[in-house]
Amino acid sequence: MMQDRAFSDPARERLLFAQRLFITAVITLVLSGLLAARYFNLQISRHDDFATQSNNNRVLVRPLAPSRGLIYASDGELIADNRPSFNLTIVPERSANLEQLLSDLSALITVSERDIENFRKRLKQRRPYEQTTLKFNLSEEERATLAVHGHRLLGAETSARLNRYYPEAELFANVVGYVGRINEAESETIDKVQYSGTDSIGKNGLEKFYEDRLLGQVGSEQVETNALGRVMRVLEQNAPIAGDDLTLFIDSELQRVGLDAFNGERGALIAIDVKTGGILAMVSAPSYDPNLFVGGISQKDYDRLLYDKSRPLFDRTIRGQYPPGSTVKPLFGLIALQKGTVTTNFKIQDNGFFYFKGVERPWRDHNFARGGHGSGVDLAKAIIESCDVYFYELGVRTGIDMLSTYGNQFGLGVLTGIDLPGERNGIMPSRAWKQGERRQSWYNGDTINVSIGQGYMLATPLQLAVMTARIASRGEVQTPRLVKAINGVDQVPAEEPPTIKMDKQYWDYVHQAMVDVVHSPRGTAKGISRDLDYKIAGKTGTAQVISVGAKDKYDSTKIDKEQWDHALFVAFAPADDPKIAIGLIVENGEHGSSSAAPIARAVFDAYMDSNAASPSESE
């Protein structure tokens, strides 16, 4: 080679060049063959795998949440509505770094520790590529912020969904209840497929009881997405089926009048349509705003409701159990008449105390402390003036077995079967009950207490309303119910309601006595009879919160209001053709006559007004 440098040899150089060119051409072809083989391997040998992978890549199946059934009052007012709300959702698979994304989001909008904590919980339950909500109910401002920065928030998206909304806020809270976020316990029992597009579930009230009907059928859609998770087009859609709409018996006007009439007092009122058992009004006062729970209630709001002394979250209508007091007197009188343990002619002398043989301590008459109701007290007078001593005697004569058996038939001590969750059954004491609960025998003294609705006896306001409705309808055993129609189809009980057999004369007698409670000058509820152009039949009651000894005098000025007696009132109207029956209690309201009865009057008036306006509705 060295000597070659002395002179140039173009021919040799060209030959060398041609050789080298040939070598590179061969290498080029070999490498091209390698490329071709690689593409053959991918495109032909492994085509099936990649074709499947590609298909999976682009097609996502997403659940389509059905819209929840609406709930209407009988007059058409919307009680539970759906409203679009915007949530911040995350698909972790789409984000490069979830932690980074969360901190980026926290920098842009307020994301609380609790939001993130709940998000992580939800994250564990979700399926791959499913949107998981980080924050609910984004404000207008937050949505705008997220839209502006959207390009660098891969994996995060704002998504619209329908949220429950209760337009009347606290008016129907105890009846309708509310929906809330599905919690861990619930997520283990629900049908995961049905709830795949939904994050709420009925927690309380009708929302819970009718959850299956309200939810609807989940739909699905196959969508093509890009790698950023954005939907490019919908391939196939299987539309969700909206939940069933419920129409209640409740009349929103009656409900409003009822709640307003409590005027800050605590208590409950139930108005029942006597003919059907339909609930016309169902008030638990004070109430709360169920909308607070929909988006997940804040701890502060929840504590405020939970520790409120007036217990707004407590549904007194079906869970409050109170001694029914004198409100059971018409029923017990009716039972005694039917069983012949007293007659309409039977009279007693009432000196204000009742002595039972073998018991030294007397039972006192709570209503007339001084000297009692005097002589010639018959059943009618005992009901009208609410004479306890007469009923002590009546109770002893009739016996607990009879009272409890019939009491159960009139709805006392048993679940009424209303279409709401969480109903309490109260206590209609009996020998069996006492033996079972207290491991004690029954004493006559127990019967004496029960005969005026005290002692072991407890009833929910709903049970009192049911009892009153059954008295009003002369023994028709209607099950109380809230839902009148589902999707516009009237719900009719499968079988004719059974009837409690009583002689007509006794029904008449008791009805008349109840009318006189309101309309006679000596009636305990005469205060509400002013300007009445229809007849109300009622009975007041007082339930002791603390026991007062026979020698002591109950004096409201000496005790805290929380320990004042509960005031009760049961009534139906119009007396000659009963349409509406009411049971109500005002906690610590002292006297049924002064605090409870006027509330019933207001509701009756509203009912009579609206029924007079549209007489066609009353058949």
Annotated catalytic residues are 326
Q: Which of 87, 131, 225, 255 binds other proteins (CB under 8 A)?
A: 225
Q: Which of 46, 114, 438, 561 binds other proteins (CB under 8 A)?
A: 46
Count of C-beta atoms within a 10 Å radius of residue 145: 15
Is position 28 an interface residue for other proteins (rule: CB under 8 A)? yes
Instruction: State the number of CA atoms in the 13 A half-sphere of 462 facing the CB.
Output: 34
Is position 1 an interface residue for other proteins (rule: CB under 8 A)? yes
3-class state of residue 540 by DSSP = strand
- The one segment of 48-56, 72-80, 414-422, 479-487 that binds other proteins by CB under 8 A: 48-56
Is position 50 an interface residue for other proteins (rule: CB under 8 A)? yes
Query: 291, 137 in Cβ contact below 8 A?
Result: no
Q: Which of 11, 35, 492, 494 binds other proteins (CB under 8 A)?
A: 35
Q: Which of 227, 492, 494, 613 binds other proteins (CB under 8 A)?
A: 227
- The one segment of 39-47, 119-127, 296-304, 482-490 that binds other proteins by CB under 8 A: 39-47
Site track 271-300 with other proteins (rule: CB under 8 A), x = hit: ------------------------------
- The one segment of 13-21, 61-69, 468-476, 606-614 that binds other proteins by CB under 8 A: 13-21
Is position 17 an interface residue for other proteins (rule: CB under 8 A)? yes
Residues 575-594 that bind other proteins (CB under 8 A): none
Q: Which of 26, 57, 167, 359 binds other proteins (CB under 8 A)?
A: 57
Nearer to other proteins, 40 or 443 (CB): 40
User: How far is the C-alpha of 170 from the C-alpha of 288, rounded, in Å?
Assistant: 5
Is position 58 an interface residue for other proteins (rule: CB under 8 A)? yes
DSSP state letter for 210: T
Query: 515, 536 in Cβ contact below 8 A?
Result: yes
Residue 50 Cβ, how far from other proteins at the closest point, in Å? 3
Is position 443 an interface residue for other proteins (rule: CB under 8 A)? no
Q: How many residues bind other proteins (CB under 8 A)?
A: 46
Q: What is the dihedral of CA 67, 68, 74, 75, to 10 degrees?
A: -40
Site track 130-169 with other proteins (rule: CB under 8 A), x = hit: ----------------------------------------
Residue 68 Cβ, how far from other proteins at the closest point, in Å? 33
Query: 558, 312 in Cβ contact below 8 A?
Result: no
User: How far is the C-alpha of 528 from the C-alpha of 605, rounded, in Å?
Assistant: 11
Nearer to other proteins, 42 or 160 (CB): 42
User: How far is the C-alpha of 390 from the C-alpha of 379, rounded, in Å?
Assistant: 7
What sign results for the dihedral spanned by CA atoms 450, 453, 457, 462?
positive
Residue 45 Cβ, how far from other proteins at the closest point, in Å? 9
Is position 49 an interface residue for other proteins (rule: CB under 8 A)? yes
Q: Which of 83, 93, 186, 432 binds other proteins (CB under 8 A)?
A: 93
Is position 224 an interface residue for other proteins (rule: CB under 8 A)? yes
Residue 95 Cβ, how far from other proteins at the closest point, in Å? 8
Is position 236 an interface residue for other proteins (rule: CB under 8 A)? no
CA distances from 327 to 104, 293, 460, 609 (A): 64, 36, 12, 26
Is position 563 an interface residue for other proteins (rule: CB under 8 A)? no
Is position 47 an interface residue for other proteins (rule: CB under 8 A)? yes
User: How far is the C-alpha of 610 from the C-alpha of 74, rounded, in Å?
Assistant: 13
Q: Which helix (H) or strand (E) holds 81?
A: strand 78-90
Q: Phi first, then psi: what are they for 144, rounded to 5°?
A: -65, -45
Query: 187, 209 in Cβ contact below 8 A?
Result: no
Is position 24 an interface residue for other proteins (rule: CB under 8 A)? yes
Nearer to other proteins, 227 or 492 (CB): 227
- The one segment of 223-231, 402-410, 457-465, 555-563 that binds other proteins by CB under 8 A: 223-231
Q: Which helix (H) or strand (E) holds 54?
A: helix 47-58
Nearer to other proteins, 3 or 547 (CB): 3
Residue 243 Cβ, how far from other proteins at the closest point, in Å? 34
Beta-sheet strands, E only, within 438-512:
483-486, 489-490
Please spell the DSSP secondary structure of 344-391, one letter per residue.
TT--EEE-SEE--TT--SPEEPSS-TTTTTEEEE-HHHHHHTT-HHHH
Residue 132 Cβ, how far from other proteins at the closest point, in Å? 17
Is position 123 an interface residue for other proteins (rule: CB under 8 A)? no
Is position 14 an interface residue for other proteins (rule: CB under 8 A)? yes
Return all residues near 471 (Cβ < 8 A) that are at least 6 apart.
330, 331, 334, 410, 510, 511, 514, 572, 581
Is position 18 an interface residue for other proteins (rule: CB under 8 A)? yes
Residue 229 Cβ, how far from other proteins at the closest point, in Å? 10
Nearer to other proteins, 24 or 505 (CB): 24
The token pair that represents 555 in the structure block = 């004096």
Return all residues near 349 (Cβ < 8 A) that are at least 6 apart.
374, 375, 376, 377
DSSP state letter for 70: P
Q: Which of 26, 51, 160, 612 binds other proteins (CB under 8 A)?
A: 51
Q: What one-letter code names the amino acid at 29? A: L
Residue 40 Cβ, how far from other proteins at the closest point, in Å? 6
Query: 451, 403 in Cβ contact below 8 A?
Result: yes
User: How far is the C-alpha of 367 from the C-alpha of 591, rounded, in Å?
Assistant: 10
Q: Which of 40, 150, 355, 440 binds other proteins (CB under 8 A)?
A: 40
Count of C-beta atoms within a 10 Å radius of residue 532: 16
Q: What is the dihedral of CA 121, 125, 128, 131, to 10 degrees?
A: -60
Contacts 24+ apart (CB under 8 A), 52-57: none
Residue 117 Cβ, how far from other proteins at the closest point, in Å? 24
Q: Which of 127, 230, 522, 561 binds other proteins (CB under 8 A)?
A: 230
- The one segment of 18-26, 236-244, 366-374, 392-400 that binds other proteins by CB under 8 A: 18-26
Q: Which of 11, 96, 107, 185 binds other proteins (CB under 8 A)?
A: 96
What residues make contact with other proteins under the rule CB under 8 A?
1, 4-5, 8, 10, 13-14, 16-18, 20-21, 24-25, 28-29, 31-32, 34-36, 38-40, 42-44, 46-47, 49-51, 53-55, 57-58, 93, 96, 224-228, 230, 232
